[in-house]
Chain A
């Protein structure tokens, strides 16, 4: 059984590169026709940290993820993962380099069992030729045994305890989210991107998710998450990046972000006063009527910025 090397060494061999920086995004621009989804965004992810990306609906968060993970080819800008430029790399290659992701709208394989879903994550980590499967060689049995154990192990790790032989569509929504994370962990990532992992989860499930994310971090995996649930974001993040109109408007610790007037403004602009996604803490800070009006005016003054 041969395993494909996990790309841990790349960052260490390069001189003059900060080894602690896993991912760096510079001046990222992503346009779709007239729509500028990402507009000159910068960010870095350090080894081992939990970083949140927040911002109003349509701010370009998912687009940034799609650029980083290779699904979109950016209009311009640079993305370096483990000090390697990846803007033109296939998503599957990026996964092999050690980056995994989940999707905003669950993207599990619907006609496959839970276990098979998770097993697909090991695809790029295992060498197994088709004729081994065809001939059922001992090497095939060995690799399958390893795949099986590992996939089951990750299912256990994320706290899944049901019957893993049933189809994923038979699971409740919250469990499906967990299976998706187990599947991503199976790819052996150094960096894990989670796109709104708490969406649609109930209170208890959110608590379990926070615990799970901490457990993943404890393995040494860095995590970037997009989340609208401010309670969760403030609880778990070491740093937060706030995105608005495809640009980061603030970066900092939860405390810094909570009191940043620009952030408050951005949320107000997007929600037009409803503050539906802001936390209780944010709402408190917004008590100042004058500030609200100011923010609204500024947003209205530049409607073309969103670019239709």
Chain B
């Protein structure tokens, strides 16, 4: 058997050559995407210079935190295809862990990062461990329950979580005696979101683990047949999603300096899930767009419409009817682009498997 001596693998007789990369052009889909990305980043960093009002900075910070949260959920729902209806639970775990450690034990904010990660990994294993063996419908229900349990525990475990009034006086980030003010915290969030969310997650998705996630999402049995352990692959997605949410929760705690159980209701999970679905599952620009919509939407409608969350229901309906894969789906580079990666082509229906035409046979 011609096993390659160096790699100890069965390799193809000839290695395939990569096609010459298409020359980069600023007017191609990739170019426009890059321009949009640069404009977005410049805008985020220039915002405090344009308007440093409290309201603007607050809204901006909140949007950044939601972007991080939605990008984390995108790993779970968009890449690995696991429907999680209680995602905000991990947001709560992160917020409470850092809140408790900073206020009760006086730890500086940065020192609680390992604790937040650890708690989220544990929470991810506790919830994901048993349920990820099941198919994903059960997962949705269990996560929904788990999200509520975390909130109820927070509400009733007074000595630790402060009960319904929560934990207050959570400090901002400080590094060696230097404490971040609101605007500096905004910049800090922007850097974290950019590194972890905008660069980190797409990179993860491009490697072996990302391919395994997508394979599991598309067809679990076929993924197993490829040597992918579907269980560990799913739990990795779940834990990475949990840690991302936990870090977002920590940012949230330091940003509003209070954590109360009422910030972790089911509506929050639903909103983040909506950001992912409206934006486009598995698509980073789409999810960012979705997160911006769910943060700015209620603010814009605040004075106009009392039942403003109803607008989300309508938006969701319209998007699902008009663009079922989301406003900015992963399957095309730009929403309006119809290049060949576009995914609408119909599969030819295969001929029935046992059709037999005697004329076609070759007598041996």
Task: Enumerate chain A interface residues (CB-CB to B < 8 A).
Answer: 3, 5-6, 8, 57, 69-71, 90-93, 95-96, 100-101, 103-104, 106-113, 116, 119-126, 128, 130, 132-136, 140, 143-144, 146-157, 163, 165-167, 169-170, 172-173, 176, 183-190, 196, 199-200, 202-203, 206, 219-221, 228-231, 234-235, 254, 276-277, 279-281
Contact = CB atoms under 8 A, between A and B. Distances in A.
Nearest to B81: A111
Contacts of B347: 169, 173, 176
Contacts of B230: 92
For B18, B222, B227, B352, the residue with the greatest tally of chain A CB atoms inside 10 Å of its CB is B227
A96 B227 contact: yes
Contacts of A149: 15-18
A57 to B, nearest CB: 7
Nearest to B357: A203
B341 A167 contact: yes
A279 B217 CA distance: 41
A148 B18 contact: yes
A100 B14 contact: no
B227 A101 contact: no
Given A153-B16, A199-B354, A90 B224 contact: yes
Contact of A124 (B211, B228, B360, B362): B228
Nearest to A154: B12
B206, B214, B225: most-surrounded residue (chain A CB, <10 A)? B225
Given A109-B214, A133-B204, A276-B354, A172 B362 contact: no
Interface in B223-259: 223-230, 236, 240
B150 to A, nearest CB: 26
Nearest to B231: A90
Contact of A188 (B10, B208, B353): B10
B18 A92 contact: no
B159 interface: no
Contacts of A148: 16, 18
B341 A155 contact: no
Given A3-B9, A57-B354, A169-B347, A230 B361 contact: yes
Contacts of A122: 208
Given A90-B229, A121-B226, A150 B203 contact: no
B351 interface: yes
Contacts of B236: 130
Of all A-B residue pairs in the complex, the 7 with the closest CB atoms, nearest first, are A152-B16, A133-B207, A124-B227, A153-B12, A220-B1, A199-B353, A95-B227
Contacts of B177: none
Contact of A231 (B1, B3, B200, B361): B361
A69 B350 CA distance: 25
A186 B215 CA distance: 15
Interface in B8-48: 8-18
A167 B343 contact: yes
B91 to A, nearest CB: 21
Contacts of B2: 219-220
A113 B206 CA distance: 12
B224 A153 contact: no
Query: Interface residue tally of chain B, by bracket?
Result: 35 or more
B51 interface: no
Interface of B: 1-3, 7-18, 200, 203-204, 206-212, 214-215, 217-219, 221-230, 236, 240, 282, 331, 340-341, 343, 345-356, 358, 360-364
Given A107-B222, A277-B356, A120 B211 contact: yes
A92 B13 contact: no
A123 B222 contact: no
A167 B331 contact: yes
Contacts of A279: 361, 363
B235 to A, nearest CB: 13
Given A134-B200, A235-B362, A188 B9 contact: yes
Nearest to B330: A111
Contact of A123 (B1, B208, B341, B364): B208
Given A221-B10, A276-B354, 17 more contacts: A6-B10, A91-B224, A95-B225, A111-B214, A112-B218, A123-B212, A147-B208, A149-B15, A154-B16, A156-B16, A166-B341, A170-B345, A173-B348, A173-B350, A190-B1, A190-B10, A220-B1
- Residue of A119, A123, A219 most packed against chain B (CB within 10 A): A123
B219 A109 contact: yes
A120 B18 contact: no
A120 B228 contact: yes
B353 A140 contact: no
A111 B218 contact: yes
Contacts of B16: 148-156
A116 B214 contact: yes
Contacts of B212: 120, 123
Contact of A92 (B229, B361, B362): B229
Which one of A128, A188, A280 has the highest number of Cβ atoms from chain B below 10 Å of its Cβ?
Answer: A188
